[in-house]
Amino acid sequence: MSAIGTNKFIDPRILAERPLPRDAKTAKRDQSGKKKRSVRSVTVNLAESSMVWLHARGHLTDRQYASAEKLRADWERANLSPSITMSWNIIPPTGGRRAAPEMLSPTETQIAAKQRFDNALVYLGADLSDIAWRIICAGEAMPVAEKNLHWPARSGKLVLKIALNRLGDFYRLP
């Protein structure tokens, strides 16, 4: 069974890569008789993050991927991503009975997520937190992050794996 087939996070059918079909009989020719280059189309899943890509191709373990998802979830719950408009998705209070006292309000949930996120970055330390934030939260591609950090090419994946292992310890993942 392939690494993708054992993946419990990603449906392997979504990430199937297939070459585009080429048919010599239907190749078009221009007026001079030369073959014209046919237009090719590629379907791209814009929702696929670099972490999903690395995990689907066996570069990350399930634990490393889960720790990245935990950090990204805290980043999103804390609403730390840049925004240019007001957030209109806050549910206004309604009349009647409020939620149970043990439930956190949306503001308390956001504050708790921000504290977890900050604590995770402190736990990673200055050297590992930068690559983790850039790849996991900001969604930078590995080559872009390596260039911005002035690192040699293909060194980011190794450092990211170290950061993800440490994040797994922080989030107490098995």
Distance CA 174, CA 113 (A): 21
List the domain range (segments joined by +) for residue 68.
50-80+106-170
In the numeric block, which tokens belong to residue 17? 């890569």
> Do the domain assignments include residue 127?
yes
Q: How many domains does the chain have?
A: 1
pLDDT at 8 over 90: no
> Do the domain assignments include residue 136?
yes
> Do the domain assignments include residue 40?
no
What average pLDDT is seen over the chain?
A: 77
Ordered DSSP codes for 89-150: -PPPP-SS----TTSPPHHHHHHHHHHHHHHHHHHHHHHHHHHHIIIIIS---HHHHHHHTT
Distance CA 123, CA 172 (A): 12
- The count of other CB atoms within 10 Å of the CB of residue 131 is 26
> Do the domain assignments include residue 14?
no
Instruction: For residues 95-103, give the mean pLDDT.
Output: 58
> Do the domain assignments include residue 23?
no
pTM: 0.63
What is the tens place of the pLDDT at every residue in 20-76?
A: 555 555 556 666 666 666 666 666 565 567 888 888 889 999 999 999 999 999 988
Q: Can you give the pLDDT at residue 100?
A: 53
